[in-house]
Every structure is written in structure tokens, then in C-alpha cells.
Structure 1
Amino acid sequence: MWTRALTACLLAMAGLFALPVTPARSAPATQPVTVRIMSVECEHCTDEGLEDAGKGAPDFYAKISIGSQTFTTPRAPDDRTKVFVPEGWTMTQQVSTSLPSVDISVQIWDADVFPDPNGDDLADSTPRPDDATSRFKLDLVDGSLSGDLTSSNQCLLGNGEEDQPPVQVCFDVRPYTFEDGDGDGFTDYAEHRGLDFNGDGSIDLHLEQFADPTRRDLFVEIDWMKDEGPGRADLDAVEGAFDAARVENPITEARGLALHLIPDEELTWAETLRFDGRDAGAYDDFDDLKWGDPAKSCTHGGEDGHFGTPADRASPLCEQILLFKRLHFRYGIFIHGLSPATVTGRDGKQHPNTTSGMAELDDRGGNDFVVSVGRFARNIDVSRYNGIGAVRQATLLHELGHTFGLGHGGRTDDGRPDPVNCKPNYFSVMNYSRQFATAKSLPADQQLDPDRPLDLQPVDVKPETLVESSLSETKDPGVDGAGGRRVIWGGGADSQWFYDPADEPINWLVDSKRESSVNVNVNRIPVFDGCHESPGGETLRSSPDWDRLVYDFTSSRYFSEGSHGPYLPELTAHDLQRQQAADLNVTKTVDRAEAVPGDRLTYTVKVGNRGPSTATAVSLTDTPPGGAAVTRDLPDLPAGRTDEQTFTYEVPCTVTDGGVLTNTATVTGKDASGGAEPAQLLGDDTATAKTTAHVPVLTLTRTATPGAHAGDPVTHTLTYRNTGSAPATDVVVTDTLPREVYYSGALDQGAGPRPAEVVKDGDGRTTLRWKPGTVAPGASATVTYTARTSLLTTGGTVVTTRATLRYGGAGGCAYPDVTVTADSTVTERPPGRDPRAKLVWQLRESDWTPDLLARTQATDQRYDGADGSAPDGALSKAEVRAALLLPLLRGELLATYLNLADRRINAATRIVSAPAALLDLTSVGQAAGYAQSALQDGDLLRQTKATVVLNEINLNLSERY
């Protein structure tokens, strides 16, 4: 049992060592146990029993033993058979809190006034046989009694042993099981021993190392993100404020409150965390960290929710422990920053969210809060406010104040949080102007309240009520009850606040006169977002805070998990930044949100100064999307003044489609004393204006029939598309065919459109051109045509065609060509091995199919127009008929083509003959090529030799299959 209890204690304490702190308190070493005898009564003790006949009633006294200590009471009044609440019959013994229980015994004696050789007589006060002593045991963990006595207020009647007459004794044993000696909601046993939820005698939740049995105990669990946690000194400072609070416990009369800020666990660091709601993602909001996502706190060692210590969550009694803590413990996390990451400022622009904290606030208080001074401190010089420790302490006390039901103006008489902020007569850290004490090292005119203590408004500080419509400038003091503190107030003007001694009359109009009644909106301090919209004409009451705190948060509207109430604006780094020097800002606009190359963009830049100091040495630098920056010196800008400048930029052809043209303007300057603008205020010193560029972007794809026999049509498909957002102009699509590929509009079987130009180059290549002109954004078109390879192309030859897309756009821009290629492989089938002689072809005109003639035309265009007709790119029967009549080589060559076209022979068909060998010709294709060359150069001898070779081929004499 004790091993388990020790283990649970060590696990519970483990969280305390995650943060480098000293222990908050040590557990009480002893616990008081009080036994009081309320009455003693004996019915048969007069002149009998304890007393001999004639000696009257007994003279009672008692012996009370608690543990090893025994106390003998004074003797009760003489001669009474019934004694009520005997004077001094009370024993209080301090018992070690390391003991699980203590034995208690009580004996009732009769003092023999007259000499008696047998001494005093013992009465029987227990119903147990063979024993006259009342014996019982007090469980020091839960306060239960066992043995003769089973309740804290009970009477025992002895059974009467020999010479020991029975007496009835009534007891009062304290503390009671549920006694709460200081009225704070925790039993005395819990405050001395901790809590045993399952009654096994082991402590399941230790409170005793923190609790103060004489004062109201307030528990707060603190978790933190890496590098954001408070030091022990920070926690001690806030606990010290509660400890010194001038509040008296109505039961014990002890002064102060026992606040216990218990550091527990380090959490995963995040730039921002949401408090005022729940997001879908895991661990990106407060409730995810507190309870897990999905809620899964009692994971017995898991890593989901972080409320309670790891030992609590790993305990088999986790549900009971966390339920108890949920009812009694507030929970806070020290984080880096709050979501959303950016917020809209008064200037309408987005700024980093530098809120210092957030907490639940209700008439009945709250239980959850965050301190978010990491991002806050990154944006200010914390040395101005006595360092990061002081900032953490003030914010922690401020957010805790909200959970105790305090608004930014404290708490009203009718029990509601007072929302009126920046009241000059409210001297509490809940007030924006009092949350942080300015460092005494700052210049005097920058010190708002350097002597501000870390405190809520004390009970004994009772400033007078201020009626803004009737303020006195002659009353001394102007604001009562604050001693040498300063009164911080606003005069209603932008970038302006004032401070005066609290014990002197205040010149609210800041003029040369002193009047008995003036009207000033004194809590409008524009540098604070929570005070810049004060309506004026208010009655500003200031009440103490400490005696108005709401301790029990369980009746709050926001007690249920995941409910934190409406967003409560808190002090930000930007609020503090506005207190300093000149505050330059720049805004920038452009006349075109969208543009194409050649457009001229005009930028308007406005430079302003939010003050409070005049900005000097003002310099504006404008950096265009391309080219050199331009810097201009501007005149001095008093607070509230602006200056306007214009710049231009021409959109170049080099912009990309959808590209953002960003023009940046940056202003620099100094305050009236020559000091540079603080780094914390530079966030709005740069502005940008953006224009989206639109240009055409054309793509081109092409495909070709993967494979086709020589002379058969190959389908070519070209698709062009404008994926850009501007029209493309002067669009030209060009496809270049190699010399072995023939194109003719007459033979084109494609879907079109037909090329606008067909140009045969000097090296035998053919260029096809389409000229669609302008292609709108998103528009596309497809060109499909067919071309044929020469019958002299051997199987396996890869034919590559190359297409090029050329286009331009607005502003006379020309864009890089887009080039794509496609491959088609020439295939062949086994030849029929039965070539025909020219005469046979002349006689078999029925075999002259259109496809046969198209294959022949693709191989040699010399026969187009052989009948005297105009060449049209297609070979007709009349033209073949006339060509076959041509003498010698021309007719023989045509017969060879017809044999190739009819697949009777292939270009690669091997030939062997003496004439072929003399010409070093080994294939049909070589022989046909030799014949073409001979016809080209007009050499009759070569033509004769070629005729012989081709005649052998057509007669099937030289082929070797």
C-alpha cells in the first residue's frame, strides 16, 4: 500500500520538475486531531457503583489518549451523575501526516475525594466485554472512525463489568470527515492528507503539499510550450499578490488567499494556438491540448489531453481525479501566440496577432486561460516594461483576474464584470493602462506608472467616482486613495494621453484655467485598442477587486469544455508600440489589377504619420517589379499628416502568364528628436501593390501512325492550345517532312484543315504551314493530315517529322518557338515473289487501284502529268497508261514501282545478276534509286544499264527471296 502511495506521489510530483522551479510548498508535517468529551452520564452511580453508600454522586474526570500521548482532564463539578460539556475535557494532538491512522482511547474515572485505599474508580464506557476503556481508531486519510466509535459525533454506553458500572459517554472527534475549516471547498483531511478516492488508504491526489488549512486555497494548473514557460519567480510573484491580499477568512480570520500556481508539463511548441473555438485539426487549439482530439485525457499514460499530471492520467482512478480537478482547478497554458496569426488593424491592414493573452470571463468567472506573451514580446522591447518576467507576471495576474470574474474595469456592485477600460481611477492590472509598469530607466515623459505594484485594486484603495460630464479641476486630491501613484488619462485626441499625481488636482482641459466642472472623455486613450472608442459622458466608478472575486467557477456559462465565451480583446504589442515616437506608415495602390505587355502601370503611394511625434528625415523608396529602385526625400510629417507620390512602370514582354508584378514602397524616418523609428513600429512602413500579368502560352502536341508499310498513308495529328490568359497573335504552325515522305493535298485523307502553304525545299524536304492567326485564351485546334513514305524506304526505317509553333502577343512581343517531333516506323510484309513485266501491267489495267497509284505517286512524281494534263499531286490511270508507253528506262521504272506498290517485291528484296553486279546493286531499292539518278543526269549509257537491271527484276530473273 505504502509503495503504491509513494509511487503515485512521485508521479504526481514529476510534472513539477519539467520546469526549472523550486518547490512551491512542502506538505504539512502534522495534522491536528481533537477529541472532546461532550457529556458523561451514569444512572446508577449515586451512593452505589462508583461511590459507596452515603458518599453521594461520582466526581468524574477522563483520561484521553491520542497515539502515545495521554491527557488527564480536570475533574468535573462534584457530585453529579450527568455532566454536559465538561470544561477542559478536550485534547488536541498534532499527529504526523506520515501515519495512516491513530489509535484513540478514553477512560472515565471517579475521583475519590475521601481517602480510599483502592484509589480512584474506573467506569465502563465501552459495550465490549472484558474491557472498560473506549477504544477506537481514526483514519487520518479520510477521517473515518472504527472500533467502538464509528462516527465523529456519537455516544457509547458501557455494558458494566464487575466493579465497573456502565457510563454513557458522548464524543466529538475532529476534524469531521467532511469538515472544511477554512470554507474553501476542500476538507481539512484533503488539505492535510490529500484525497483517497477509492478508500484503500492510499492517497490518489495530493493537495497537502500546497494547501493552507487556514486560508482559501485556489488551484491553477500551468502547462507551457517550450521556451514560453514562467519561472518560479514569476509564479511566486503572482502567488505573493494573492498572499498579501487584504482579505480576511471569515472562519479562521487568516488574511490573504492561498493561490497555488502548479507548473506541470511542457507542450509541443506552435507559432499560434486558437483559444476562442475549436478547429478540425489536431492540437491546434486550446481544447485539443487540454482534453485531446478527440477528447482522450484518461489514456493511462497516453499523450493526448494534458489536463492533470501524467500520473493523474495514468492512474486507474483517472476519471475521479480529473473530475475533482475539473471542479476545483483552473487551467492555463503559456503559449507563443494566438490564432489567427494575423488580424486586421485600425488601418484596415493585416498585422501579426500579438495579443498578450485570453481568458474566460463571465458573471460567475471561468476556469480556462492562456498567456501568449511569446509573440507579444517578439514585437516590443520588453526592457521598457522591466523584462519578460515582469510581462509574464502582469499578464498572468490579468488573465487570472478574468477567470475570477473581473472585467477591464473590475466588477460592478450588482455582480457583473465591468467592461469600462482605462478608467483613470482604477488602479488594477486589469486596466490596460496599468497592466504593465514602465521601467524607471525610461525618460520621464515615457513613464506611465513606474511605481505600479503587481496587484489588483486593494480593498483599502477607494478612489472617488469620476463623472466625465462634471469633472472638478480644483478638488484636492483630484483622485483619492492612490497615494503617490499617477493618474493616467486621455484627453480625447488621437495619439495623446496624460498622467498626473493622484494626490493633486488635475487640469483635465490642459489649459491655463482651473474650473469646478468640465466635460472630458478621460478614459479615451487612443493608443490602446480597448480604449480608443470610449463614448464619453460616462460615470466611472472604481471598486476594490480582492473582496469581489468569484472563487467557484462551476456555475459559469463557460464551465463546459470547449465553451470559452465571446472573444475578449486583450492588450497587444501594437498597443504598446503606439506609445512611442513617430509612427510612419505607407499605403500603395495601382491603377490596373490586370495587365498585358505594353501596358503602363501607375502607382499611387501615400505616406502617413500616426504620431505622436513629428516624423523627420522622411525618405520613400519605390522598387518596381523590374529595374532600379527610385528614392525620394519627403518633407517632415507632423502627426496625422500624409504625403502622396506617383510612380509608373511599363509591363515587359518577359512577364509570365499569371505572374504577379509586385511594386514595393518603403518609408523610413526619424522622430522629432532625431531618433530612428522603433523596430516594433516598422510593420506598416512597407506596402506593396500587385498586378497580375496576362500573356499567351501556346502548347503543341503531335502524333503519327506508329507504323505503316512503305507507300501507305501515315496519319499526322497536330494540336495546339492557348493555355495562357491573353490572346496569341500571328500564330503559324509548321510541319517539316523528311525527303522520303511525300505530301499531296490530292492524296491527303486527313480531317484537315489543309495547310495554307506547301513548300518543297531544295534538299527534298517538304514544309507544311498552317496560319490560324489569333488564338484566344483557352482556345485549341487540331490539324490532321496524311502523308506517304516512298516505296523505296526499307522496312524498319524510322521516319521523324518535326513540327514548330510560332506566335506573338500584345505589345509586339514574340515568344519562343514550340517544337515537337513524332516518329513512324516503316514496316513491310513478305513479297508476293511474282513481279510483272511492263507489258503485263499494260494489259492488267483493272489492277491499277487508287491505293496502288497513290503509293507510286508518293515514290516518284515524274509521271504526274505524263498524259499531258497538269500535274495535280495524284497519279491517274491515264497518266499511268501514257507512262507505260514511255520508252526504255522510264516505262521499266514505272513497272518496277507498280510491282513494289502491289507488294510483289520489296525495296529490300535481294537481286543477283551480272548486270547488277557490274553496277554494285544488291537490292530492288538500290536498282530503282540508280535508275532515278540516271534519269536525273541524262547519261544514256547509265540509263541503258539501269533498264537492263530493272527488266531482269520485272521478269523475276534476278530476285533472290
Structure 2
Amino acid sequence: MAHFTSHGLRRKGRKPRIALYAAIGLLFAMLPALSSSTASAATSVTLTLRINNVLQIENPDTAAGDGDYFPEVRIGDGPLERRGVIEDDVFSPGWQFTQTVNLPAGQSSVPILIRLWDEDSGPTEGGDDKMDISPQDDDVDLDLVYYDTVEGNSWSGDLLNSLTVGQGDGDHGFPSNNDGRKARIDFSISNGTSVDIDGDGIPDAVEQQDAVYGPDGFKVADLVGLDPCRKSVVVQIDYMSDSGPTGHSHEPDPNAIGEVKAAFDAAPVDAVSPCPYPGDHKATGMDFIHVRGKAIGEQPVMNFEDEDLGDDYRSARNANFNFSLAIYAHYAIFAHDLRAGKDDSGQCCEPERGHNKDFLVTLGSWTGGVGTTREQSGSIMHELGHALGLDHGGSDDTNYKPNYLSVMNYSFDPDGIPTGPGSAPDRLDYSRASLPTLKKTALLEPNGIGDGTDMTSWTAPDRSPQFGRGNAALNWNNNVDPTTMLPVIDPNPVDVNINAGDDASTQRTELTGHDDWHSLKFRAAAAQTANGAGVSHGPDIGFDTAQKRRTAFHDFYDPDVTVTKTVDKTDAKSGDTLGYTVQVKNVGKGTATAVGLTDTFPDATTATRSLPNLGPSATATASFTYLVPCATEDGTKLTNKATATATNLDGGPEANTTNNTGTATTTVHAPRLTLTKKASPTVNAGEAITSTITYANTGSDGASEVTVTDTLPAGVYYSPALDLGTGPKPNSVTLNADGTRTLVWNVGDVPATSGDRTIVFTARPTLLSLPGATHINKVSVSYKSAGGACTFAPVTASAQTSITAVTPSRLPLLSTLWGLRTDLRTAEVLARVQATDTRFDGADNSAANGTLSQQEASAVLFLPVTQPRTVRAELLATMFNLASRRINAGTAVNTLTIRGLGLNTVGDAVRYAQATLAQPPTLSNLIRYTNTTLVLTEINSGVAERY
């Protein structure tokens, strides 16, 4: 392989010196051979010389157009060979010459002669003329010496500083009568292996020196970043700029250049490995080298078609694009607009011969008047792609192919290939592989396009834009479920786009994929594809078209589900069943998938439902029920909340979730009863306790089956006959086994907000109650809802009454006197006795009625000569003495008999007597009855009391 040593390779950073190279060339011309100690051991070498580019500097045929050029080359002692004639002023002929040279022992140098002729074969043209391609005076041929040394391979001679360029110095008329003029050629030499190891057309020597030099030895352009083992693309970009006060400039954004560099750096193209040159070399990717051009005056329009505007372009190129760079680089201008009133993004390629890989980027009618960073970088990639031989379908002009993932495809120009909804930015790229062919009449939807996770796009037969991941099922005809579809007949999504103005002149039934990165045709003069023309097109994608695609993509993945919730009862009663209806509607532009609904009931429990996919404007409904708990407070607002969740067709989250919840509210109306109880705070034993029960329904719903239950403690007596209250009287009175009494009022229905209702009754504590004793009276109210569906917990209240002391008169009367003194047996006295002992009620053989009458008392006191009548009479007399406050239950008593019975107070004696009467008056109980009679007689006669 050709290796440029110090004889032929410029050291990086060293200023070129023409004289030095001329001296080196002269030195080598004088040396017939290197010594055997430094010569290569090879006895033969096969050299290939390739003329990559020709520039006509002076026209030898001014009156008859450009010259007609052909070369003559001799390598070593081989024949002088010619190649075919080409007419042009600048061209890349690709003339190639190969010769095997036998080297005598110890010789390693090979002389090489290069001539360039202008063919003048007509009868009046005077014969062919040599063009001057040598920088030496009175020398028009390029004389070189090639060396094969132990240090590598090199050449020297009539060289310019770029090492691969020969250019004449203007030896007019030499040799005599020669009409040749000054010209320039670019060439490369290899000994069987290319001197452009990576095949990008830029010689390794140029790539290693990171710069291009002109014939005067000065640097034309920095090309920092070139790697001889990695393919490179070089682009000089001039730009329009307004020098006025607005400072408007179309100079590419450095970030846009960075994005293009990154795209090339990530290209799936293997570099030459191992790389024979020193330094760090990447294993894959390509280099994009941006040469910052010059500012040109702002003008509203520039294009190739209009003769004047095309001249504007060519004038700028000729003035700013140095030929020394042009043999390696593309040229572009960032102009304002391509056509007046149009929003075209650019055009490739400039049609003039030799320049058909130059292009325009025109974003004056795009974002901000210059395009966003991505609009700039994508437009560079697209137009450069045309210059590198790519069409809108890769290898053909079928645009919008879903299996062609490239910025060349209008579906991805200039934004790049989407990697997912919401991903920013999309991947700026040429296609990385040739995807399987799609046959439009036999599309298998589950197969997708066989790509990875990139997004693709197409248009369904209903003209709706569609998008999907390349490795997933694709719903080509926008119908049913793509994962279960059978082959479909001609739903082709591309047809609509083709008919809408695609580049293709005919309908193609098969859509082929294309591998862009491995198909690029490099411009550089030494590249094998240098003569391959770029793909010329009319104006490229407009801003409005790109915006519509962006909007369609956004809308496709932008479902927006809303939730509306209603309830069948906005006002309800306790125990009612509420019916909820939830409507989920997709008000977005994209289909909603994985639609789920969670209904949260007022008690925080939840129910979930899965709903079908919802296309735009589609709805789904769900129903739920909820039982209003009986314990719900009146006036409570029960809120039921339904929340929907959804994803877009790519499984990503829904963008707008602010409207995903709906609520419905019901006001609960329930009865709520209140209850209070008041009672006489103090009374004397046997006297009436006045109780007041107050209840009300404060709720907004009526109550049913309202029942008031008052429980009198043991020792407190109630009978309706003795009830002095204003009522109403209880519906039932029940004496319980524990001595308590239950009074029940069956109130029935109580309407909402009824106001206070009262029950006032009296009851009497027994005469045996001692001072300081307390009686706690409890009351409750139970009720149901108006319809009876709910039974509520009873409401309770209580009141307390304390017993106070009355000073006794100390004048008890015997039973005989009480039998005679009916005047002393007042109704109050009789009531007090009845409250203490009810055994005397009905003593006259009348029906017991809850009160003690004079007749019943007289019957008990009349001639009590036998037992148990004697004890009954004495007990009643004692009761009368207690009721008339002659003695108290707590009055101390003491006689021989009383002490023998272990009694201490009048109350003890009364209870003993009551217990005696509970036993039959048989012989076995004779003594007890006798003692009881004696004790009561002692008390009633006043003998036993001790005050």
C-alpha cells in the first residue's frame, strides 16, 4: 500500500514549502536507486495510477467550447497508454492505469510520466496540444518518481503541496507551437492497494494532514476530524446573511451541525480494522466534516431552475468554493426561499455538469425564518442524501414507503425517525437496513415491517394517517385488531400518498426497503462512485406538509378520555340504593387503549372495570350501585368518583389527565331523633316525681315506628291511675323481675323537622326510701326510617332524683284508729302507701287498678283477728304512719322483740313484715307471724321508736 513518508507527506501543523518539495523531487530524480540496505526486497511492483479529477484553468479552444481531453501515462518502462476523450471544463474521469514493473536488484524507484492532451484532430486545428500540468518552468508534463522503501512507499516530483495535485504554471507556447493551456489534475498512486484505504475518495495523505492546501501552499480549509480508516463526507456551507439592523442570518446553527455529525458518527458502517495508521480509531461510523463557508448577501429567492438565480448560485460557488477543496467536498448554500411564496425546504442537485452534487437548503418560510435546529439538521441530511445518491425511496422515487426508515422519506423529513410518542428529538438517520419488501396486495398485518422499535407511518384507505412500531402488528387498513387480521386485499397505506403527488410516475405494487448507509455514493474525486450523479429533484418538502405530518403524529398518539358521571337520585333516604352511570368518552384525536375505570364509592371502597379501546369520539358506559348506609348522617352529601385511565396506541400514558374524573353527588335525608329527660331533682319518700321527656325529629326525613321507652328503677312505682302528669299515658307498663318498671309509648311516625314533643308523667318512690337515696330514671327512643328500611340506634337520656328527709311528728296511730279515721287517709296518703306496697289494691275484692281506695283500706283494717289479716292490718297501719310523716323509714326502733329479730329501723320492720306475709300462716310460721304482729304493734303504738 502507498505510504507517504517524509518525502511525500506533509507533517501536521507544518507550513507547506513549495521549494522544499521541488528540491526533494530533484534529489530523487538524480538518485537512480536507493542502496540495497534500504531498498525493498521486492523484485517487482504493480502500480495503479488513477486520475480522479481534471480542472481546465485556461481554455485551449476558446472559440470552440471547452477542450477535449485525454491522458497519456507511462509507468516505469511500460508503454505510453492513452484513455478516451472527455469534453468539459471540470470533470472526474476516473482514468486508471496499471503496470507491473520489474525492479533490478537493489532498485526501488519507478519513474512515472503523466501528460494531459487537448485533442485537436480537425484539419484546421493543427494537431493535439499538451496541457500544462507541471509547476516547473518550461515543463508541461508531470514527472514523478515512485519509491518502494523499507520505510514505506512514497513519490515525489512535480508536486503541489497537496501531494496528489499537479498544476501548470502557464508555459504558453512550450514546446514550440503548442496551443496547450494551464490545467490541473488530481491523482492517486497505489502499489496494488488503494491509497484511499476507507474508499471515501479522500486520499489517506489528505485525511492524515487534517487540511486541504492550495497550489500556493496556503491552507484552503481545515478538515479536522478526518480519519483515513473511516469514511468521511465533507460539506462547505455558505449562507445568506443580512448585514442590516435586523442581523438576520441563515448560517447553520452549530447544534444542527452537531446533530448531523452525531448521525454520521452513529452510522452502522464498519471502519477499516485494523487501521495501519497511528492514533485512536473508532470501529464504526462515519465522519461528517463541516467547512464553514462565507456569508453572501440576503436575497428572497435562490434556485437552480431560474437562469438568473442559478447564476447567482454558481457565482457564489465559483467565488467561495476553492477547487482544492471541491475535489473532496460538497457545496451548499443556506438560502432564504427556493421559490417566491413557497415553503420548500431545499433542492438537490445543481444540474450544471460537474457540480451535480451541490445543493440548497431554504428554510426562510420555516420556524423563525431560519428553521429550528432539527429542521436545519434534517434538511442538511435530506439534501446531502440526494447528493450521495439517495432517492425518496432509497433506490427508487417511491416516497412515503412505510418500510423505508430514512430522513430521505418525507414521512421522516426533516424531523427524523420517531422512536416513540413524546420522544424528543426523533432519531436523525438514514436507513440502517433494507427491510422486507411489502406486497400491497398481500399485507400481513401481524408482521409489521420487520423493524426494531422505530416508528413508521402510512395512510390507510380511508385517508387517515396511521403510525405504529415496526416490530409490532400494524393495522394497515385501520380496521379491527391488527394482531388477529388475516391478509388484507389492497388496503395499502402508501397508495393514498402516491396518488396525492408522490415522486413515482407509476404505481408500484411492491415496496422495497433500502440500506442507505451502505449505498452512499461519495463525491470525492478519488472515490469509485465519484462519477455517480446525485439524485436531482424538484423542490423538497414544505413547511406546511411537515407541520401536517407532525400534527397527525401528535394527534394519533393523543387520546383524551373524559368521564361523565350521573346518579339516579340526587336526594335519597337512608337505605336507598343509588344507581350510577359512568360515560367514558374519547375526545382526543388518537385511539385510547387499555381503558380502565375505577369507581370510588362514598365509603372509599372501589370497583374496577375494563373498557374496550375507544377511537376518537367513541364512548363506553358502565353502571354501579351503592346502598346508602343507615348510619349516614342527615344532610350528608355522598360523592361517588369515577376515574378513567388510558394509554395511547403505543402504550404510553395519556397526555391530558385533568378531565379523567367524574363525580356525582347525592344528598342523604335521614330522620334524627333527639331526646332529653328531666325529673324532680328532690322529693320526699312516697311523693310524686314529675318526669318530662322531650323528643324531636331534627332530620330531613320522617321517622317511623318511633317508640319511647322509660325504665323506672326498682323502688319507684308507676300506675296510670296515680299519674299526675299531663301525658300522654304510656301504651304499656311492665313490671320486670328485677323490680324495675318499663313504660312504653308507641309514638308511630314523626315527620321531618317535627319540633319538640313532650311526655310528662309522675311516679312515686317507696316510703321506705331513706334520705339521700337517689333514683336514676333512664329513657330511650327507637325509630326507623320513613320506609322502614333502616333501624337506627336508640337515643338515650336519663334524670336523677334524690330523696329528702321529713321530720316525723312522732305520733303514730294504732291500726284500730286508722280504721276509724278515714279523714286522715287522704288521697295523697293512700297514693304514698300504694307506691310502697301494692298488696292492698283490691283488698275489698275489687279489681286492682293501681291505686288504693278508702274501701280497700277499710277492708284491710276491719276486725283483723286472724292471721295473716292481723299482720296485714298492722302493716297497713305502719304504712299510714309513714305516709302521714308520723314516723320515717329510718326511725330507729328498739324493744326486746325487735332486738331479738335483729331489726333497727321502721323500714327494717316493714320489710320483715312484707317477708312474713310472703309465707303462709301455718303452724310452722306461727311464731314469726306473732313476732311480726308484736313488732308492728309496738311501732304503731309508739313504744318502739327511739328518736
TM-score by length of 1: 0.40
TM-score normalised by L of structure 2: 0.41
Larger Rg: 2
